[in-house]
Chain A
Amino acid sequence: NAGVTQTPKFQVLKTGQSMTLQCAQDMNHEYMSWYRQDPGMGLRLIHYSVGAGITDQGEVPNGYNVSRSTTEDFPLRLLSAAPSQTSVYFCASSYFWSSGANVLTFGAGSRLTVL
């Protein structure tokens, strides 16, 4: 099925460990992004990309790293996990409309717990 695929769906880490959340889309979307969802805070943008080789920071980028080597993939790396990074992470993609009309297609989310 066409869409956004996130792996893993669940992960438990210890403080200081590193890991990568994978995101892949097969819709040839130029725009890809990562959000974290915390209770009472909605979704906050971590990093985004408007094409291969182009990334930029969102609202809460600290502690996370991204790269975009292909149109399809946009992995999110946690360099040294902290309990404050316990959250549900969503990857989302869309076509690139300069007018801002793009509708985001979301992955199913990844629940990360850092002990």
Chain B
Amino acid sequence: AQTVTQSQPEMSVQEAETVTLSCTYDTSESDYYLFWYKQPPSRQMILVIRQEAYKQQNATENRFSVNFQKAAKSFSLKISDSQLGDAAMYFCAYPQGSGTYKYIFGTGTRLKVLA
């Protein structure tokens, strides 16, 4: 079965510091997309960043970037200059199988930002 694994249930980071959230996945596809979603205390799910597997370059969105290692099936999220508003649950996600749209989500990592 294709899976997404987030091995860190909870992480803490000091304000203004950098933190990396881990995600590994298992797929037999050669071309696919990977996503990180954020869920703040409001419960609203928000897209953070998206990576296309065929692209060698790691995706970047302002303070958020990924470390994508296709061979290792690893997709880490790096948050630089952490802010109090970054405190949330973060989910790694993968749409299983081209054209099927069965999104698989990891179990999430709760990020705490310390002032």
Contact = CB atoms under 8 A, between A and B. Distances in A.
B103 A104 contact: yes
B33 A92 contact: no
B101 A102 contact: yes
A90 B101 contact: no
A91 B43 CA distance: 13
Interface in A16-64: 31, 33, 35, 40-45, 48, 50, 58-59
A88 B97 CA distance: 26
A103 B51 CA distance: 11
Given A101-B33, A101-B52, A109 B43 contact: yes
A92 B45 contact: yes
Nearest to B9: A40
Contact of B91 (A43, A88, A92, A101): A43
B99 A101 contact: no
A42 B102 contact: no
Nearest to B31: A99
A45 B32 contact: no
Contacts of B56: none
A58 to B, nearest CB: 6
A109 B95 CA distance: 20
A94 B37 CA distance: 14
Contacts of A31: 101
A20 to B, nearest CB: 21
Interface string A72-115: 00000000000000001010100010111111101011000000
Interface of A: 31, 33, 35, 40-45, 48, 50, 58-59, 88, 90, 92, 96, 98-104, 106, 108-109
Interface of B: 4, 6, 9, 31-33, 35, 37, 42-47, 50, 52, 91, 93, 95, 97-99, 101-108
Question: 3 nearest interchain CB pairs?
Answer: A106-B45, A43-B105, A42-B105
